[in-house]
Amino acid sequence: MKYEELLQTYPESPRLHYAKAQALDSLAESQRSNKHLEEAIAAYQRTMSSKNVPEKLYLLAGKRAADRLRFRGFSGKSVKLLTEMAEKFPLDIDLKNQVAIGYLLIGQNQLAKKVLLEALKVAPDSGFAKVHLGFILKTDESNYEDSIKYLSEGIATRETGVIDGRFYFHLGDALHRIGKKQEALKVYEDAVKEGLFLSVYQRSLYNVDNLTGKPWWNPQSTRYAPDFKILEKNWITIRDEALSLINEKYSGFMPETEGLQEKGVWKQLELFSRGRKIEKNCLKAPKTCTVISQIHDAASCKRGQVKFSIMHPGTHVWAHTGPTNCRLRAHLGLIIPEGASIRVADETRKWEEGRVILFDDSFEHEVWHNGSTYRLVLIIDFWHPELSIYQKRSLTPI
């Protein structure tokens, strides 16, 4: 490589190191080579440590190195590098924001929050910092009032990166949860106008275009009708298998953890997830898993799950929206007392024991249980019937 020779003569030239890094970077990309990628990162870092490196080049090399470290999967190292840079340039708001994103990506939300608060001290109007801070306050702390302030102010700046479905999603949800339903609706309408949601009710963010979207489906008029027959034929076996686990101190059932409940007790036991059997749970419910294994578009649904869901009286699940329009969600009623109901978009229905109901959970839905004994269903996600075999194969799991 010609840079090597030149570097022999000018070993401290930051521009040579940078040019070498860029050449390796393109090579890594065209050959999909991790070895070259790591060499490129090293050369960017060497650029940064060269004597007399101009500030602009230091920042350019550092930001690219951090980006490539993350791409290579070294997210911790990426944040560390950005942090060092941010300490050197305490007024560089973009660096602080990048450190915060780095922390969010490795699940260190509280560290991200700390950096974002520092960023807002330096740049009180940074929309980027505001939306990310608002996001953390909503999703980690359920601090609705403050999250609403930061999310709405951040979005209003229209800075790069703030017009993003996730921020509208959580802003609307926070407003909804404190009872400001009209304001929530306005946020959802804005997001539809921005092309971020499919509709005010259908707010999933991982979508395939042009799939039929409607809240409730008639199970008998889809091509999965024979699969629903199988489920309904086996419902007692499935129910009894779940009951024996429930009687063994809820063996394997886990509390719902996505913060969707306002109050109550709601537990689930996952049997399939992202198109794969969960072996250790299927050992507990082998008959149910055998039934599901016969149902190809459920067992292979990489954008869904199969799970038992038990809900105790006094539970309210906030109105919420699933992540993707690529699945339809079937519920097989197993134990259905009075007083439990589910709303999807504008229409509320009840379950029936031994019968399947079918809805699209990318539409807003909400569940209440005001009865006096628990409700038990088996949830079975199916690929949306209009997806092609190729799409089902290539879509990323959710």
Residue 49 has which token pair?
């440590």
d(CA 315, CA 256): 12
d(CA 359, CA 201): 13
The minimum distance between CB 315 and ligand LMR, in angstroms, equals 9
The stretch among 9-17, 102-110, 277-285, 361-369 that binds ligand LMR (CB under 6 A) is 361-369
The DSSP call for residue 397 is P
Which partner, ligand LMR, Mn ion, none, binds residue 281 by CB below 5 to 8 Å per kind?
none
The answer to whether residue 357 forms part of the interface with ligand LMR (CB under 6 A) is: no
How many residues touch ligand LMR (CB under 6 A)?
9
d(CA 146, CA 130): 10
The minimum distance between CB 88 and ligand LMR, in angstroms, equals 47
Inter-residue long-range contacts of 128-132, CB under 8 Å, 24+ positions, other chains counted: 128/97, 128/154, 128/159, 128/160, 128/161, 128/162, 129/93, 129/96, 129/97, 129/100, 129/154, 130/154, 130/157, 130/162, 131/155, 131/161, 131/162, 131/164, 131/167, 132/97, 132/100, 132/101, 132/104
Q: Which of 112, 330, 342, 357 binds ligand LMR (CB under 6 A)?
A: 342
CA dihedral over 102, 105, 108, 113, signed as positive or negative: positive
Nearest CB to Mn ion, comparing residues 44 and 253: 253
The minimum distance between CB 194 and ligand LMR, in angstroms, equals 26
Looking at residues 292 to 311 of the shown chain, list those that interact with ligand LMR (rule: CB under 6 A).
309, 311
Complete DSSP assignment for 250-265: TTT-EE--SS-EEES-
Contact 66, 78 (CB under 8 A): yes
Q: Which neighbouring-strand residues pair with 261?
A: 317
d(CA 28, CA 133): 35
The minimum distance between CB 95 and Mn ion, in angstroms, equals 38
The stretch among 125-133, 147-155, 170-178, 353-361 that binds Mn ion (CB under 5 A) is 353-361
Residue nearest to Mn ion (CB): 361
Contact 363, 202 (CB under 8 A): yes
The answer to whether residue 361 forms part of the interface with ligand LMR (CB under 6 A) is: yes
Nearest CB to ligand LMR, comparing residues 64 and 365: 365
- Closest CA relative to residue 220, chosen from 357, 350, 329: 357
The minimum distance between CB 263 and ligand LMR, in angstroms, equals 15
The stretch among 39-47, 170-178, 286-294, 360-368 that binds ligand LMR (CB under 6 A) is 360-368
Any idea which residue has 């230091």 for tokens? 58
Which partner, ligand LMR, Mn ion, none, binds residue 380 by CB below 5 to 8 Å per kind?
none
d(CA 387, CA 398): 16
Nearest CB to ligand LMR, comparing residues 130 and 365: 365
d(CA 99, CA 145): 25
Nearest CB to Mn ion, comparing residues 295 and 377: 377
Q: Which of 99, 133, 367, 395 binds ligand LMR (CB under 6 A)?
A: 367
Which partner, ligand LMR, Mn ion, none, binds residue 367 by CB below 5 to 8 Å per kind?
ligand LMR
Which partner, Mn ion, ligand LMR, none, binds residue 79 by CB below 5 to 8 Å per kind?
none
The minimum distance between CB 133 and ligand LMR, in angstroms, equals 28
The stretch among 75-83, 193-201, 232-240, 359-367 that binds ligand LMR (CB under 6 A) is 359-367
Which partner, ligand LMR, Mn ion, none, binds residue 241 by CB below 5 to 8 Å per kind?
none
Which partner, Mn ion, ligand LMR, none, binds residue 309 by CB below 5 to 8 Å per kind?
ligand LMR
Contact 371, 313 (CB under 8 A): yes
Which partner, ligand LMR, Mn ion, none, binds residue 61 by CB below 5 to 8 Å per kind?
none
Instruction: Give the HSE-up count for residue 206: Cα atoms under 13 Å, Cβ half-sphere.
Output: 13
The minimum distance between CB 367 and Mn ion, in angstroms, equals 8
- Closest CA relative to residue 228, chosen from 297, 128, 307: 297
Nearest CB to Mn ion, comparing residues 329 and 392: 329
Residues within the interface to Mn ion (CB under 5 A): 361
Residues within the interface to ligand LMR (CB under 6 A): 309, 311, 329, 342, 361, 365, 367, 377, 379
